[in-house]
A and B are shown apart, each in its own frame.
Chain A
Amino acid sequence: MSDIVLDVQGLRVEFPTRKGILTAVDDISLQIRRGEILGMVGESGAGKSMTGMAILGLLEPPGRISGGSIHLSGDRIDTLDDRAMQAIRGRRIGAIFQDPLTSLNPLFRVGDQLVETIRLHTDLDKSQARTRAKDLMREVGIPAVEERIDNYPHQFSGGMRQRIVIALALCAEPELIVADEPTTALDVSIQAQITALLKRLCRERGTAVMLVTHDMGVIAETADRVAVMYAGRLAEVGAVEDVVRRPKHPYTTGLMGSIPSLRKDVEELQMIPGSMPRLNAIPPGCAFNPRCDHAGPRCRRDVPRITEGDATGAACWLEQTGTVEEGAIA
């Protein structure tokens, strides 16, 4: 069997509204292999969370998948009904969300929540499940497990709560974990602990991880590969060190330049003029062309794409064909 855990091809997510159909995710193709962390990065509204939600089958109606396919270890999952998808969520795909307080039920002890989840997805009996819950809590680095297992969520700090959520996601040993801004609500020193934990678990268990975040620093630190999203489309995909150090897409270049450095001194940060277009006002051609210094006639007419799921590169005519002129042929 191939080691491709998640295979997304040409995914489109649409929201029909009174004013017309909004395309939140527009022709996204990507793959994640066993033990690999793929970072999905982009600014608010770029469609990164929407992609994660589509994979989890948790799109809020009227949002819907309107094209493309999602395969999990060879099984197509985007066509499954809600009930079948519910069986996959938790068992084969784990989810970690931003706010650990809303992912846990405040009325139940964390141990009971873990035991319930473990028993739902495995054949273990109650005491076996409890033992397994303790093992999981130890694995995610919770001290004094024997006492803590009977605590309620509010008795844990933010960082510890996020560890519990990670333990919950691991209950059924899923093939894939979708982590949506898992460290955004946490302070930097705790954030470092959580990303280190995710990295270790991914490495030890061979779980594939889709790490969705707006924080380029977290991506640089944690991910193996990065997919940069802009206005619902992929702008650039590549190995993390390439995208961070030698970005190819003008948007990624601007994004990297706009982050204050910890080493270099600059009087003025690089700016990308303007802001990301709203979904109902995406310009024709490359969505980034109105903000791009290199934009030419072709950029205003044709949409550049990254087509292959395992491809690396930039969705940019200049990068792909060396020219932005009208008559250029790809």
Chain B
Amino acid sequence: MNIRPNAILEVDALERRFDVSAPWLNRMIERKPRRTLRAVDGVDFVIQRGQTLALVGESGCGKSTIAKLVTGLHPPSGGKIRFHGDRDRLQMIFQDPFASLNPRWRVGRIIAEPLRTLRPDTPEDTVSARVDELLRTVGLAPADGLKFPHEFSGGQRQRISIARALAGEPEFLVCDEPTSALDVSVQAQVLNLMKRLQKEMELTYLFISHDLSVVRHMADVIAVMYLGRIVEIQPTMDLFANPLHPYTRLLLDTIPDLDAPKRDRSPMGGEVPSPVSPPSGCSFHPRCPLVFDRCKQERPERRAEVHDRRVACFAAEAGA
């Protein structure tokens, strides 16, 4: 099952630690130890060409750190990222369309930048023709290239971000919460655009989101993260039909369901612990309804059950 000829990205035992120690002087005076935060702690997954893998989890689970590791914005502290493609054809779309576009540049220049950087010998008239084409692809008009980012709404700005990402003819896009800052009706426009582009250009997405309903709509495979680890990875429909990890069940249980209004529920207590001092063993054990002794001491590994379907949970392994 290890032969995956069509894999575009393989991530293996990926780790990223951040030093969050107090300053040297404080450590000396107050005798505080060095502290490290394991933002990403032994993560592995594979993305097939043309597919969408979603990383989902609550804030601080490490999903955005993975985006930065994959795009090379952070070097990993351990593990391997193997990208079977052209590094130049890997692009990123960020969450905040207000912060990720240079306010002093005209939109046309913003979109042309990857072209000018990656293919510097492109003639100027080809560049501008390409910018016009990209603006049309994302549903804007060529005349919009002369405007500045502040003249656009949030949804339009995210379209500009997408056009910029497409300029370098990418095969792989890392999308970090691309619609979280948008209103739902605008989100629908952007998600539809992303799906259409994926089909037309055979793009592969690493899609990061905290919103399970968005992820369900977009992803082929979903990896659920908790405190720097992937606790479960399954094809989308299987994950929703048969969640294996208790944390996945908690998440699915707590998202509001529009098809069942006024539902009364007794939400599970507890909160995500600090990643600086994660609980021993399985880091979910203090909140887990299925916890037993072994969970407190030993860290469960994600056992390969079937192709693309793994869960890191002793209780799930035992068939609970």
In the complex, the answer to whether B188 meets A269 with C-beta atoms within 8 Å is yes
Please pick, from B153, B240, B267, B272, the residue contacting A262 in the complex, using a CB distance under 8 A. B240
Question: Chain A residue with minimal CB distance to B252?
Answer: A262
Give the contacting residue for B217; candidates A192, A214, A224, A260; CB below 8 A: A260
Name the CB-closest residue of B to A291. Answer: B185
Once the chains are docked, how many angstroms separate the CA of A193 from the CA of B256?
12
How many of chain A's residues touch chain B, expressed as a range? 35 or more
- For window 86-143 of chain A, which residues contact chain B by CB distance below 8 Å? none
The reply to whether A272 and B214 contact each other, CB–CB distance below 8 Å, is no
> Does B195 contact A188, Cβ atoms closer than 8 Å?
no
B58 pairs with A259, CB closer than 8 A: no
Q: A220-B256, A220-B262, A245-B261 are in contact. Are A258 and B187 (CB under 8 A)?
A: yes
Say whether B257 contacts A269, CB under 8 Å: no
Give the residue name and chain of the A residue nearest to B273 (CB): A157
B20 to A: closest C-beta gap in Å: 16
**Which residues of chain A in 158-212 are interfacial with respect to chain B, using CB atoms and an 8 Å cutoff?**
159-160, 187-193, 195-196, 199
Chain B residue contacts of A53, Cβ below 8 A: none
How near does chain A come to B74, taking the closest CB pair, in angstroms?
A: 23
Contact across chains for A192 and B213 when beta carbons are under 8 A apart: no
Q: From A190, A224, A241, A271, give the contact of B192 (CB < 8 A).
A: A271
User: Which A residues lie within 8 Å of B153 (CB)?
Assistant: 275
The proximity string for A residues 265-278 relative to B, scoring 1 for CB distances below 8 Å and 0 otherwise, is 01111111001000
Q: A188-B251, A254-B185 are in contact. Are A244 and B271 (CB under 8 A)?
A: no
Q: Which of A214, A259, A269, A272 contacts B258 (CB 8 A)?
A: A259
A220 x B257 contact (CB < 8 A): yes
- How many residue pairs bridge A and B at CB < 8 Å? 126
Residue contact A215 to B256, C-beta cutoff 8 Å: yes
Task: Say yes or no: is A218 at the interface (Cβ < 8 Å to chain B).
Answer: yes
Q: Chain B 235-274, CB within 8 Å of chain A: the 1/0 string?
A: 0000010000000001101111111111111111101100
Q: Are A262 and B185 in contact (CB under 8 A)?
A: no
Q: Which residues of B sit under 8 angstroms from A262, Cβ to Cβ?
A: 212-213, 216, 240, 255, 257-259
Chain B residues contacting A241 (CB-CB under 8 Å) are 261-262
- Establish whether residues A44 and B183, one from each chain, have CB atoms under 8 Å apart when the complex forms: yes
Query: What are the residues of chain B within 8 A of A77 when measuring CB–CB?
Result: none
Query: How many Å lie between the Cα of A45 and that of B260 in the bound state?
Result: 28
Q: Is the CB of A275 within 8 A of B261?
A: no
What 1/0 mask marks residues of chain B from 170 to 190 whose CB sits below 8 Å from any chain A CB?
000000000000011111110
Query: Considering the chains assembled together, what is the distance between the CA atoms of A254 and B187 in angstroms?
Result: 12
User: How many angstroms between the C-alpha atoms of A243 and B102 in the bound complex?
Assistant: 41
Q: Tell me if A43 and B257 are in contact (CB < 8 A).
A: no
B59 touches A187 (CB 8 A): yes
Contact A43 B265 (CB under 8 A): no
User: Which residues of the partner chain B approach A268 to less than 8 Å between Cβ atoms?
Assistant: 192, 195
Q: Which residues does chain A contribute within 8 Å of B253, judged by CB atoms?
A: 192
Interface size on B, residues (CB 8 A): 44
List B contacts of A218 (CB < 8 A).
256
Chain A residues near B184 (CB, 8 Å)?
43, 214, 216, 255, 258-259
Contact A43 B183 (CB under 8 A): yes
Q: Taking the complex as formed, is B155 at the interface, i.e. its CB lies under 8 A from any CB of chain A? A: yes
Q: Which residues from A are CB-within-8-Å of B191?
A: 260, 269
Contact A261 B255 (CB under 8 A): no
Contact of B267 (CB < 8 Å), options: A189, A214, A245: A189
Taking A188-B210, A189-B268, A193-B267 as contacts, is the C-beta distance between A261 and B258 under 8 angstroms? yes
Chain B residues near A44: list those with CB within 8 A: 154, 183
Closest to B156 in A: A275
Tell me the smallest distance from the CB of A148 to a CB of chain B, in Å.
Answer: 14
Q: A275 to B186, Cβ gap below 8 A?
A: yes
Residues on A with C-beta less than 8 A from B216 are 260, 262
Complex formed: what's the CA distance from A266 to B217 in Å?
8
Which of B154, B185, B186, B267 has a CB less than 8 Å from the CB of A192?
B267
B258 to nearest A CB, angstroms? 5
Other A-B contacts than A220-B258, A221-B262, 12 sampled, CB-CB below 8 A, are: A43-B183, A188-B255, A189-B272, A192-B253, A192-B267, A224-B262, A255-B185, A260-B216, A262-B240, A263-B257, A271-B189, A275-B156
Interface residues of A (CB under 8 A from B): 43-44, 157, 159-160, 187-193, 195-196, 199, 214-218, 220-221, 224, 240-241, 244-245, 254-264, 266-272, 275
Give the 7 A-B CB pairs with smallest separation, nearest first.
Answer: A217-B256, A258-B188, A260-B217, A43-B183, A192-B267, A192-B254, A187-B58
Q: List 7 A-B contacts (CB under 8 A).
A: A159-B271, A188-B254, A188-B255, A259-B213, A259-B258, A261-B258, A268-B192
